[in-house]
A and B are shown apart, each in its own frame.
Chain A
């Protein structure tokens, strides 16, 4: 990593210089994103300390979504939160959250549309407040709170007290042990899989606008795999966040899951092969079908089909346990 980085802009330039060389391999790319994000968070902390002084309490800064799952493509948006020690005032951490958001934005990570960011009070709370909020989300079981919970579950600490997040996840697992019916609600929330292949065997692509002729890769291909493995991880109380690592752990317990790991790896590779030159966050979710060969299309159809099967298998496993 460069030691010359002093501004967010310089991080962005470094990111742009390196991207082409790291974007050939999924693992390398995600390790690089990790370095960039870590660098920005460190820089934001230094800036905070120069203006506001040392943090008033211990804290953990964590990422969620594709960053947490090690599934970022060339571009990705921000999803993060903060947990701080009980008793501390939120103002310092909200400002830190905003500083990190600003830094990440300047470094090339779009702000989250849904405001899942540490600068938002909903995602920046003390340990106790977090614990209460998570229980409330699960008690309420509305569409929105279940989404919040699922987003939260794919989380890992980037800097600070790792224990804080682990404790919260332990709390979640004991809640689920006491209320296994909540698993049904989690299944319901993720059961709808967007159709990607029509009755004539054709891809259901966008029909108008900038992305006409493109497939929405995120919703149609990724979500079934990500959602299936997350469901199983919750059910089996696995705290690992990467979908690939979840595969490794869960395939040992559930034979039915194992064959699909290869499909998911292929999907990640396929996305990288076609999206490496995209210039913004929006476009990485769309795959231009014109670029795909017949063999690519055949492979993608199989991946999509297998994603559905995997999700159904995961659903079956979890349903048996509720």
Chain B
């Protein structure tokens, strides 16, 4: 894991001091709510339905156990004993009183954490592959580049007030586990024919009310130039992005409107920086700097290469089927022999997807200290990942995970849903997500049934802002508001860009919205249509692509009750 330098350490503390000054002026009445808003947002503080919501940055999803314990402490001391992990690998709290905000920032700074640029119209926390550095299909470890980008984007003076928020995701593996095409900038690390490392650069992807996948603006950019190239993209966006209409302000609208001209403008700006600006080449990354940062992402102390042993088999001959299922779904291949990555599932009945209590955070930290070199990752799917698990520890880890209720063997299955906090917490939401997620989780408790249904991405958002990434779900659920009540639009066939899901595409709506109490029946109708129509071993998403939406429309219209007349009218 990256270790803070003294500079990094001081910087976070300086930021906390700056925020305290702003908060005190706000509480004293000399900084108006209007003016404070943009400042607090850039420190992660929203004003939400119940209290301020704090979004804490987890850069590219890496957490130390010390940091996780601090989050548990904050949950216990300042909040109501739980927190929420998001699709963008961050952590959110919902109940911290604003007058304690500066104290919380000081506490976070003690463990090198903060809320810098987790909100606001600036470059947000950079996300990546939760399996970075350990995935067998990895070409190049993205984390050193993520860290260099993190530093470059932090308090960038020119780009603090862009037309809208700006998100960057980086992947270095054959499989895209960071959904890069759905970001304002998506970066794919690769090697060219000469074996040199560089980036394929995408720009202009995003969800929201206009889902658009990113356009390739450069097929291969030498890694040394990435900061300069991104500066060119963001500067073009800052100057020409639309500011007259919030809904058209994201870079995706600019990229779509300008097409080739956008790419040309970026390439021109890039050359101008390098050829004409004072010290324009100063941000070319020297190899020494990459090496300096990369050393922090070396294999942690205590992890030793070993030939694969037979512990997976021998220790578990009499193990219960639940363990076998856990091995199948929650344990992942590793690039180092003798090691596995393990997902701690945050999806179980009784808790909202991504939610963890303070006790669970402590338990996860204890487990990670014991079995994963003190390191933990937050995944895009709102689970936790242990990156450094010895195969010989798997059975003991499973028992520990089970007693902390992290061992639901449902990773990649229907109940491993992505869901935003929705209307229960979020002031923006049009509808609630949590009760819907809960109803679906309740209905699909039978593991045999879940396993028979197989791999399926269910993503749910409480509003069009798409925090729950409903566009990319094989089944997407979107909360909408009609006449002051909650309705849910269902989409099918969305893809985040993984091999299994196919090329990145937004799902298609299957008809008029459904009432809240119809949604579990609708999901069941969709799933049963798949089960009756699938070819042997055909996954859900492939069946949808093969047979189209009509059979699903017919099946879901048949379960309409309160919305029946609307469906007929449509």
Are A and B physically bound partners? no
Residues of B bordering A, CB below 8 Å: none
